Amino acid sequence: MKPQLIKDIANWATILTVASAATLTLATWAYAADEYNVVNGHTLAGQPLGLHGVDPVSMFGDQGPLTGDASLTASHDGIDYYFASAAAKQAFEASPTRYLPQFGGFCAFGVFVGKKLDGDVRYADIVDGKLYLFVNAAILAKYREEPEAVIAGANAKWPGIVNSPVSDL
């Protein structure tokens, strides 16, 4: 083989390797963004931000939702979460799934009807130790008419839409 041809093949192999690595990295973020309700952009660590920066542990306390601090960040499943205190961060790290909202933080009623709508911490309910978010007060009121049916229906729908892009629903 001619030396120039070998160089050309090596250059293309390098380009393809870099392109593949970039694609896989971006695909991971895109996947996470479809499975979890995240804020546009990324944290300083380069990951998507979950729960709009609200401390997930605070949702289970008497003080209600507290804004987290970027200096108190923990990651779970490729998503960063902010915390209002070191104790809250520690509790989350010990048992993340205990504090995370159901359906990736999307509106539970939205999931019930096959959509991924933004979940808002101001409109939340905790049932059997699980956090459910809703898009607004009207939808929360509608959910409260038949909470068991909505939760059961959303649990049945979620596996079929969890990996679907928001734009496809």
**pLDDT of 106-120, one tens digit each?**
999 999 999 999 999
Q: Are 93 and 107 contained in the same domain?
A: no
Residues 97-124 as b/e (b if ≥16 CB within 10 A, e otherwise) read eebbbbbbbbbbbbbbeebbbebbbebb
Residue 144 domain boundaries = 101-158
**Per the structure, how many domains does the chain have?**
2
What are phi and psi for residue 44, nearest 5 degrees?
-60, -25
Asked if residue 12 has pLDDT above 90, the reply is: no
9 pLDDT band (50/70/90 cuts)? very low
The Cα-based distances of 59 to 2, 77, 95, 97, 103 in angstroms read 66, 20, 15, 13, 16
Rg (CA), the chain: 20
Tell me the residue type at 139: I
Is residue 123 in a domain? Answer: yes
**pLDDT of 32-86, one tens digit each?**
447 888 887 788 888 999 999 999 999 999 888 999 999 999 999 999 999 999 9
Is residue 58 in a domain? Answer: yes
Q: Are 85 and 109 contained in the same domain?
A: no
Q: Are 110 and 81 contained in the same domain?
A: no
- Quick one: pLDDT at residue 42? 84
Which of 99, 125, 143 is a domain's end point? 99
Q: Are 83 and 121 contained in the same domain?
A: no
Q: Are 61 and 108 contained in the same domain?
A: no
